[in-house]
Amino acid sequence: MQSPLLSVRGLKTEFSQSGQTIKAVDGISFDIAKGETFALVGESGCGKSVSALSVLRLLPRNAKVREGQVLFQGQDLLHEPEFNMRTIRGSRISMIFQDPMSALNPVMTIGEQISECFAIHDNVGQKSHKNEVLKLIKQVGLAEPSVRYNEYPHQLSGGMRQRVVIAIALANKPDLLIADEPTTALDVTIQAQILQLLKDLQSELGMALWIITHDLGLVSEYADRVAVMYAGELVEVAPNETFFDVHKPHHPYTKRLFDALPSTQKRDTLLTTLKGAVPSLSSKFKGCRFAERCPLKQADCLSAEVDWRDESPRHQIRCLHYGIEQAEVNAEKFNASNATTDSTGSLLRIDDLKIHFPIKKGFFKRTCGYVKAVDGVSLDIKAGTTAALVGESGCGKTTLGKGVLQLLPITSGSIAYRGEELTQLSEQQLRQYRHHLQIIFQDPFSSMNPRLLVGEVIREGFQSLSQQLSDTEKTQRCEELLQQVGLNPDTQLCYPHEFSGGQRQRICIARALAANPSLIVCDEPTSALDVSVQAQVLNLLKKLQIESGLSYLFITHDLSVVSFIADTVAVMYLGRIVEQGTTEEVLQNPAHPYTKALLAAVPEWDKSKKIKTIKLADNLPSASNPPSGCHFHTRCEEAMPDCSQIEPAKHGLSATHDVSCLKFKNE
């Protein structure tokens, strides 16, 4: 057998933090062959990134590789002097980081940054660099290389920046490219292209690719081999085909991960969740690390040393009992009869809402233009239902959500809550309506004042209620709310930072519930969370809806979440809604080309459902200067000459399904 390109053996990396030793990576072993794509999958905090950094020896000061061997083309990287490592990094092994926004130096041009890598690792003259760089820029799929050469990072969109980052990584034709969550910070439409680019470049240059990710869909499309990591250990290694074959046996953790993914089929059931949390990596482990949360747990799981079992020559599982057929442990049904389906009247009606931000220039701050973040949106939300708002980042979803709550000044249009017009109210009058509409934010870390106790955070919710509560009532209600969102009532006296992301999101939900609202705007509430935690939060939201008839305006870019939770969907592009209808209509029979492209871009692990990817140019036009006619025509594959001239009007496909596209007008 050919010797592997990279061979990691028993790698152990430890952090020492405030007197504790945290075993971030605890004895992992794997091989990456030449030209292979290897994916390391796991939830945040399981040690994925640390293993990559250990291999490159880029660990922070308080971390140390305790044991193990990293053989790269037969060379032991852990014992190379730092001087040699410098020649390996960036030339033979390159790395791409998650956030393209911070990976580039804002004061250097693209050309300078790319040629820097040549300058360090090669001794070619300055002139030949420029040609090399231009070739490289072209290779990563950026148009007009000579223009890009002299541009600065801020002039490029996120996707274009990530391409530049890839160009830098490829500059020296590495044998191994490590991509640490390369697309997490990007939109779905762009994510697909970046991955395709990586894949193409890989086959072109014959390099190996090591992808670190939490996204199973992505893995299924691009990886040759998959390893699942849990609490510092690998628990399963399998080739792609085996890994995504549901009928093959898997590690219980892997199985849970698949089950936690939301989808249409699971609409009526609770998503499978894992109880408890990932064990602290500073604790001493005995037996299987997953045992505490495992539905198949047996007595020997905690006592016996769990070793690898070969399911097939290339498929290993680290579990004692994986063979046992797993019953649907958690397929608890929602009790649909309880649902308060008084979806007769509309709860919130948004009509031709416009939110424009003035662009001011000069000494006297004259207005010289507008960013039309929301440009004539009409939406109707019925009581007890969930309306999803989908779109790429920068399309105005969040602005619309905040506009509904009047957290932003509204330019024109109307927002009617149960028939009551909200936009004309004074601040004083509006305060009485505040408690009906609440909001949950995306980032669970900035959504709570770090200096308030959890109890105080929730108590703030009572503020908007008209009736005054006594202190004991407040405490009691606080406890009820915490229980309702599945937290211990004793947590009132803790600070928000003591909680994990998922728990924080629950506290935010409790705060919103404290006001006793009838509509909650959920602004990407799960996009910062891991799959299993996302499942918990989605379950909670759904449960609350069924119990108390809440309505949600669910803002997201994740279509699988939409299919699980939403009743109606509105697709937004550059401040306008291009298509809306019931979830089934929009997701099964998308009419607008943009919707189709969005759906096609979602990586799908279930191969039977896969649709062909539609390529969208990765430059979302600016909302301050939107294209004429149909906003989408610049990126549309089916664009016609008329599209740049005429603004498409709303066209009804059915009673509930509307689309704004000229194609349908002509028919």
Partner 1 sequence: MLALLWSDILIFLLIGGLVLSAYFASKQEQTRRPWRKAFQSRVGTASFVVLLVFLLVGLLDSIHIKQSESLSPSSEEHTEVVLSVLDIFLTPLRTQIEKTYSAPFSSFAYAKEISLDGTGVSVWTAPRLSYGGAHLEHPQEEIFGDVLQRSLLGLLKGIAAWCVLLLVLAKGPNVVAFINRSVFRKTALYTLLGLLLIIFVTAELVGFYHILGTDKVGEDVLYQALKSVRTGLIIGSLTTLVMLPIAITLGLLAGFFRGWVDDAIQYIYTTLSSIPSVLLIAAAILMAQVYMANNPELFSSVAQRADMRLLLLCVILGLTSWTGLCRLLRAETLKIREMDYVQAAQALGVRKLTILKRHILPNVMHLVMITVVLDFSGLVLAEAVLSYINIGVDPSTYSWGNMINSARLEMAREPIVWWSLAASFIFMFGLVLAANLFADAVRDAFDPRSKH
Chain contacts with partner 1 (rule: CB under 8 A): 18, 402, 405, 407, 430-432, 434-435, 437-439, 441-443, 446-453, 456-457, 460-461, 463-464, 493, 495-497, 508, 511-512, 515
The smaller minimum CB distance to partner 1, of residues 55 and 485, is found at 485
Residues 6+ apart with CB under 8 A from 498: none
Q: Report the distance separating Cα 569 and Cα 585, nearest Å.
A: 9
The smaller minimum CB distance to partner 1, of residues 159 and 461, is found at 461
The smaller minimum CB distance to partner 1, of residues 32 and 437, is found at 437
The smaller minimum CB distance to partner 1, of residues 250 and 402, is found at 402
The smaller minimum CB distance to partner 1, of residues 339 and 465, is found at 465
Q: How far is the CB of 460 from partner 1 (least distance, A)?
A: 6
User: Which 3-state string (H, E, C) describes 250-265?
Assistant: CCHHHHHHHHHCCCHH
**HSE-CB of 412 using CA atoms within 13 angstroms:** 4
The smaller minimum CB distance to partner 1, of residues 399 and 583, is found at 399
The smaller minimum CB distance to partner 1, of residues 509 and 574, is found at 509
Q: Report the distance separating Cα 244 and Cα 217, nearest Å.
A: 10
The smaller minimum CB distance to partner 1, of residues 302 and 430, is found at 430
The smaller minimum CB distance to partner 1, of residues 308 and 433, is found at 433
Q: How far is the CB of 222 from partner 1 (least distance, A)?
A: 34
Q: How far is the CB of 409 from partner 1 (least distance, A)?
A: 11
Q: How far is the CB of 429 from partner 1 (least distance, A)?
A: 11
The smaller minimum CB distance to partner 1, of residues 178 and 508, is found at 508
Q: How far is the CB of 526 from partner 1 (least distance, A)?
A: 15
Q: How far is the CB of 35 from partner 1 (least distance, A)?
A: 45
Residues 6+ apart with CB under 8 A from 463: none
Do residues 163 and 113 lie in contact, with contact meaning Cβ atoms separated by under 8 Å? no
Q: How far is the CB of 478 from partner 1 (least distance, A)?
A: 14
The dihedral formed by the CA atoms of 567, 573, 577 and 579, expressed in degrees to the nearest 10: -60
Backbone angles phi, psi at 20, to 5 degrees: -105, 150
> Edge to edge, what strands does the sheet with 346-361 contain?
366-382, 346-361, 412-417, 420-421
Q: Report the distance separating Cα 452 and Cα 232, nearest Å.
A: 33
The smaller minimum CB distance to partner 1, of residues 107 and 493, is found at 493
Strands 93-96 and 176-180: parallel
Q: Please count the residues of the chain.
A: 667
The token pair at 180 is 């640490």
Q: How far is the CB of 127 from partner 1 (least distance, A)?
A: 45
Q: How far is CA 549 from CA 17, 401, 465, 487, 603, in A?
A: 46, 20, 19, 21, 33
> Edge to edge, what strands does the sheet with 568-573 contain?
437-440, 519-523, 551-556, 386-390, 568-573, 576-582, 658-659, 651-652
Neighbours of 394 (CB within 10 A): 18
Q: How far is the CB of 49 from partner 1 (least distance, A)?
A: 22
Rg (CA), the chain: 26
Q: Which residues of 32-65 are buried (b: 16+ CB within 10 A; e: fewer)?
A: bbeebbbbbbbbebbbbbbbbbbbbbebeeebeb
The smaller minimum CB distance to partner 1, of residues 79 and 497, is found at 497
Residues 6+ apart with CB under 8 A from 507: 448, 454, 457, 458, 482, 485, 487, 496, 499
Q: Which residues of 153-189 are buried (b: 16+ CB within 10 A; e: fewer)?
A: beebbbbbbbbbbbbbbbbbebbbbbbbbbbebbbbb
Type of residue numbered 638: E
Q: How far is the CB of 466 from partner 1 (least distance, A)?
A: 10
Instruction: Please give the biggest Cα pair distance in the chain.
Output: 78
Q: How far is CA 565 from CA 285, 486, 522, in A?
A: 38, 19, 12
Q: How far is the CB of 508 from partner 1 (least distance, A)?
A: 7
Q: How far is the CB of 325 from partner 1 (least distance, A)?
A: 45
The smaller minimum CB distance to partner 1, of residues 93 and 519, is found at 519
Strands 576-582 and 568-573: antiparallel
Q: How far is the CB of 443 from partner 1 (least distance, A)?
A: 6
The dihedral formed by the CA atoms of 611, 615, 618 and 624, expressed in degrees to the nearest 10: -90
